[in-house]
Amino acid sequence: MAASTKVPAKPPTTHLGLVRRARRVDRELAETYPDARCELDFTSPLELLVATVLSAQTTDVRVNQVTPTLFRRFPDAAAYAGADRDELETILKPLGFFRAKSASLMGLGQALVERFDGEVPGRLEDLVTLPGVGRKTANVVLGNAFGVPGITVDTHVKRVSRRLGWTEETDPVKIETALGDLIERSEWTMMSHRLIFHGRRCCFARKPNCSGCPVAGLCPSAGTAG
């Protein structure tokens, strides 16, 4: 798709105008990134939960390199709860912070076994009670493993949504609320993927590619973000 003009768009003067612009941007990003998805490899809610916990302070690519071995060796919550710490640390060592991450997975497994019969709960209010699980991780699991719409406010969603003028908030929970007020609930999960794809492929943190951006004509930061 050809890039839009680089002249910064004027911010909408009404909330309705902002809603309309946000939904237009989301449609444009849907056309630009038809393959937008969760880039962590998983086959079950537990695998996605574990992979998401491990993705902190590392890349999805690196996590995906480690998880095949991890998932074979630890197929369920009970296996994590009773894991040999040295073995777990050896598997996770390529990710960095492997001692802390090993402790997190063992604690996660214990909590799942003790409070949820070893199953990953499908409600946000239950997920966030698990050690190492906040709203971001919970929404990833809900949206991609359970089909429950959720907004994942990671570093890309935070950056891109602010540049687009969708919110001025910096707190992740307030950003989640603001975005949820703009985009249809049924699109929350996919909208998150699209913003993440856009942040990783075009709207970079240090030097966004505004000249190649498909929504530059709808973005108040076009040509000025840095």
Rg (CA), the chain: 19
In sequence order, which residues have a C-beta less than 8 Å from that of residue 216 and are 6 or more positions away? 3, 4, 5, 6, 210, 222, 223
The CA distance from 176 to 169, in Å, is 9
Residue 179 near residue 164, CB atoms below 8 Å: no
Catalytic residue among 26, 101, 136, 158: 136
Neighbours of 45 (CB within 10 A): 18
Angle made by CA atoms 81, 82, 87, in degrees to the nearest 5: 110
Catalytic residue among 154, 158, 174, 181: 154
The CA distance from 29 to 41, in Å, is 23
The CA distance from 83 to 151, in Å, is 32
Whether 207 is a known active-site residue: answer no
Whether 136 is a known active-site residue: answer yes
User: Annotated active-site positions, please?
Assistant: 136, 154
